Structure 1
Amino acid sequence: MDGSTRAPPAAGDRRPRDLRADFFRGMALWFIFIDHIPGNWLGNLTLRNLALSDATEAFVLLAGYAAGIAYGAALDRDGWLFAGAQVVRRVGTLYVAHIVLFVMFTAQVGLSAATLDAAIYIDELHLDAFGQEPYRALLEALLLRFQPAFLNILPLYIVLLLQFALLLPLLRHPRLLLALAVVFYAVVRAFNLELPTWAGGGWFFNPLAWQLLFFIGCTLGYRAPDGARPPLAIRWHWLLGAAVALWLVFTFVLLFLGWHRPNLGLLAPRWFTGLLTDVDKTSLHPFRLLSILALTYLVAHAVPIGAAWLRSRMAAPFVLMGKQGLPVFCSGILFAFLGRLALEQSDRWTMQAAVNLAGLLSLVAVGALAAWYKERERAPRAATPQPVTPGRPA
C-alpha cells in the first residue's frame, strides 16, 4: 500500500485489449442516446425494455472493468501514489467535460425554449432553477449539487473514481474489497444514505450504492502479476447458466406485465406485479444489480475475448465509440436533444429512421475524430531541421 514503484512488465506480459468491453460500451452509449429521445420508436428495443437494467448499469460495470485493467496495471508497476494520481487526473478531465457539457446543454435547451416558445423543455429537464437563480445555479453545478436531467452520469462516474483512488490498493485483495463494497451497499440501502442536492433530496444516481457495481467491474478487470483469476471470474456451468437464464426470463415477464402491459398484469397475482413497486434505480435495487450481473455472465461466456466478429466492419463503429467513450457520451447528450426537436416536428417512420441513423453516424464521426486526434498527438514528431549557417558545412 506504499507509493513504491515497480519495474514495468515485459512486452510479452502485456494483456491484449478486450474488444468486448469496447464493443458493449459503444452499444451502451448508443442506447443512452436512443433512450434520451422521447418518442423514439427504437427505444422499445433497448436494454431497459428487455431487462431490469439498462445502459447505465452496463456503462458503470464496464467503466469499472476498464479502470481495473488500466489503473490496476499502473498500481503494480508504479505503486499506489502514482496510480492514484492518474485516477485523480482522470477525475479532473471528467469534471471539466461535465462543466463544459452543462454549459452547452443549458444554452442549447434555453435557446430552444426561447425560440420555440416551449418552456416545457426547461421544466422537464429541471433547468428552471438556472433561470431563477443563475449565479447560485452555476455555483451549485460546479459543486455537483445541481444536476439537470441527463447530466447526472458524469458526476456519478467522478465520485466513483474518487472512491476508487482511495481504495486502489485493495485491488490486490479483491475479496476484501468486494466484502467492504457489499457491506457499504447494504448499509446505504438500509439507512437511505445519499449525497444531497441543491434542490433537496439526493442524487439521481446514488454513488454510495452504485460503487458496488463499479468495484465488481474493477475486480473483474484487474489481473495480479501472478496471473491469478479474479474471484468473480466464475467458470461456465450449465446449471448456473440455466439459473441465470431463468432469472432473466422471470424479470422480463415481471417487466412486461408490470410496466409494458399493465392490463394483462391485472390478471397476474398482485404480489407478483407488486415486486416492481420498490425496484428503484437511484440506489441500484438488488433486482437491477442481479440482472446486469446475470447478463454479464451469459455474454462473457457466449463471446470469447478473441471473437473474430469483434474485428469485423459491423462491429467497428461500436468498438470505436467504446474506445472514445467520453467525447461520444457528451456529444450524444447534445445530439439527443436535437433528435427530440426533430421528432416533435414529425414522428413518421422516415423521420424516425433519419434521426436514429444521423445520430449513430454523428456519434461514430465524433469517435473517429477523437481517435484521429489522439493518434496524431501520440505519433513521434519528426525532428525540425536546423538552419545551415552560411560559410559553415552542413
Structure 2
Amino acid sequence: MTPPLERHSRPYAASSALGPSKAEVPQARDTRLDVFRAICLLMIFVNHVPGQYLEHLTSKNFGFSDSAEAFVLISGLSAGLAYGRKFVPGKRTATAIKIWRRAFTLYVAHIMTSIITLAIFAGGALYFGRQDLVGEINIRPLVDRTEQGIVAMVLLGHQLGYNNILSMYAIVLLALPGMLFLRNVSSKLLLLVSGAIWLGAGIFQIVPINFLDEGYWFLNPFSWQFLFAIGIVCMMRAHEGRSLPRHPVLIGLAGAYVICSLLWVTGSWWNIDLSFGLPAVLTGFDKTFLSTPRLLHVLALGYLCAVLPAVSRWSSLPVGHPLVRIGRHSLPIFILGTILAMLGQVLLFVTGHDPVWGTVFVMAGIGLHFAYARYLDWLGALSKPPAAIAA
C-alpha cells in the first residue's frame, strides 16, 4: 500500500514489478514505493519463518490481507510507472520484449531459489540426521518421483512451500503487454476484462495445477492479476494528473472496513457465516483465489495511504535511507529473504520449533537484509562515473 497516486513535484524512477534495474534509477527519485515495498519484503521474510515471535507483529495479524497482497498492488503500480507511458504505437513490441525478458528473469530466479531450497532441506536432513525434513514444504513428491519432479518443477508444475511468489509474478508479467493494450483503449475495459477473469477463476476454480499431486498453485495468477491490473490503472491515472477522490464518505468507508477487518481477525470471528450461499470468492477469505474480503482490505489500506498526507510525508524518505535501499533492490533482496527463510525453517525444525532461536535468527536476517542492500548500493556505485556518484 503506497501513496504514489497523487501528483508530486519529484519524478519517480521507472521500476519493474520486482524493482528497477540500475539504469532506471535517476538522481531525483520519489522513494515512497520503495519504502512500502521494503516493508512488504521484510514482512514476507518474517512470515516465511513461522513459529517465532516476530511473526505476530506483521500485518497478517491485523486484517484480512497480508504483505503479499500489498506487494502485488505495489508491483502493479510499479509496472504502470515503468511501462505504462512506454507502451505506445511504435514502441509496443520493444516494450513487450523488455517485459517478457523481465518475466524470464523472475522464472530463472524462481527455479534457482527452488533448487537452493531443496539443497538446504536435504543438507539439513543429512547433517542433522533428520530425514523427516524432506517431508516438509511439499518436498516429498520430488524425492519419491525425482525424474517427474524435476520436469514438473522446471515447467512450474510443482511448487515448494514458500517458493510460489516469483512464479505467479512471472505469469502475470507475461500478460502485462495485453493489460497495457487494454488500458490504452480504456481503463474501464482493462478492469472489466481483468475482473471477469478474477471472478471466473474464483467461481469455476480455474487455477494452474501441480503435476505430482492433486493440488494446485497456492497463488493463482488468474486471480491475482486483478489486483495487479488495479495498480496499473491507478498509476496511469496519476500520470494523467487525476488524483483519487478525497471524499469524507470514501475515507470513512475505507477506515471502517479496515477497523472491521482488524476486529474480525483479532477477535477470531471466523465462525460468523455471512456467505448467504454466494460463491466463496465473493464472501470467503481464500488467499489462492484472492477472495473479495482480502481484495477490499488491501484496496482500502492503499486508498487511505494514498489520500492521507501524513502517510505520504512519512514515507518520502531520502534516497540513501536503509528502507529505500531495500525497496530499490527488491528482486535480489527477495531472493536473499527466501534463502534465509528456508534456513530459518530448518533451524526451527531441528531445535524443536523453539521460538527464541527463531526470533534471534529472524532479527539477524533482517539485519542482513539491510547490509545486503547497502552492499548492492556500494557495488552499483563502483560502475558509475565520478560525476554521477558526486550527484
TM-score scaled by structure 2? 0.82
Separation in structure 2 between the aligned mates of residue 21 and residue 309 of structure 1, nearest angstrom: 8
Alpha-carbon offset, residue 65 of structure 1? 0.7
Mark the CA change 1:295 to 1:120 in structure 2 (over 3 Å): closer, same or farther: farther
Q: How does 1:119-158 map to 2 (within 5 A)?
A: 119-158=131-170
| Residue equivalent to 1:360 | 366
Counterpart CA distance in 2 for 1:59 and 1:271 is: 29
Deviation at 1:29, TM superposition (A): 0.6
Indicate whether 1:325 and 2:330 are aligned: yes
Aligned match for 2:206, one of 193, 212, 235: 193
Where do 1:137-216 residues align within 5 Å? 137-172=149-184, 173-198=186-211, 199-216=213-230
- From 11, 27, 31, the equivalent of 2:43 is 31
Provide the residue aligned with 1:4 in structure 2.
Answer: none
- Give the distance between the partners of 2:77 and 2:170, measured in 1 at CA: 15
Which residue is 2:299 aligned to? Answer: 293
Match of 2:6 in 1: none
SS in 1 for 2:316: helix
Shift of 1:67: 0.5
Separation of aligned partners in 2, 1:83 and 1:169: 11
Paired with 1:224 and 1:210, the residues of 2 have a C-alpha distance of 22
Give the C-alpha shift of residue 349 in structure 1: 7.8
Deviations 1:276-318 (A, max 9, x none): 99321000000000000001011122256862663259x9222
State the partner residue of 1:372.
378
Q: Distance in 2 between matches of 1:273 and 1:118?
A: 44
SS in structure 2 of the partner of residue 307 of structure 1: helix
Structure having greater relative contact order (Cα 8 Å, sep ≥ 6): 2
Deviation of residue 216 (structure 1)? Answer: 0.5
Q: Tell me what 1:49 maps to.
A: 61
* C-alpha distance in structure 2 between counterparts of 1:109 and 1:302, whole Å: 45
Question: CA offsets, 1:128-164, max 9 Å, x none?
Answer: 1221222321111111111010111001000000111
Q: Does 1:284 align with 2:263?
A: no
Q: Distance in 2 between matches of 1:300 and 1:365?
A: 30
Gaps of 5+ in 2: 1-8, 13-27
Distance 1:223 1:51 in 2: 27
- Deviation, 1:122, is 2.1
For the residue of structure 2 that corresponds to 1:73, the secondary structure is coil
Check if 1:258 corresponds to 2:268: yes
Preserved CA contact (<8 Å) 1:69 1:223: no
Q: CA deviation at 1:236?
A: 1.4
- 1:94-113 matches, cutoff 5 A: 94-113=106-125
Query: Is 349-358 or 247-256 further displaced after alignment?
Result: 349-358
| CA separation of 1:14 and 1:171: change in aligned 2, threshold 3 A | farther
2:327 and 2:220 map into 1 onto residues whose CA distance is 24
Query: What residue identity is the alignment partner of 1:257?
Result: G
**CA deviation after TM superposition for structure 1 residue 220, in Å:** 1.7
CA distance in 2, matches of 1:353, 1:312: 29
Whether the aligned pair in 2 keeps the contact of 1:18 and 1:305 (CA below 8 Å) is no
Does 1:67 find its partner at 2:79?
Answer: yes
- Within a 5 Å distance, the mapping from 1:230-269 to structure 2 comes to 233-258=243-268
- Identity of paired residues, percent? 29
Higher-Rg member (1/2): 1
Q: Closer, same or farther in 2 for the Cα pair 1:95/1:303, shift >3 Å?
A: farther
Tell me how large the CA RMSD over aligned residues is.
Answer: 2.9
- Rate the CA distance shift 1:151–1:379 in 2: closer, same or farther, 3 A: farther
In 2, distance between residues paired with 1:86 and 1:144? 22
Separation of aligned partners in 2, 1:24 and 1:57:
12
1:115, distance to aligned residue in structure 2 (A): 1.8
Gaps (5+ residues) in structure 1? Answer: 1-11, 382-394
Q: Distance in 1 between matches of 2:35 and 2:120?
A: 30
Correspondence 1:310 to 2:316: yes
| Residue 253 to residue 151, structure 1, CA distance change in 2 (3 Å) | same
- Counterpart residue type for residue 56 of structure 1: A
Q: Deviations over 1:26-71 (max 9, x none)?
A: 1111001111112111111101110100011011111111110001
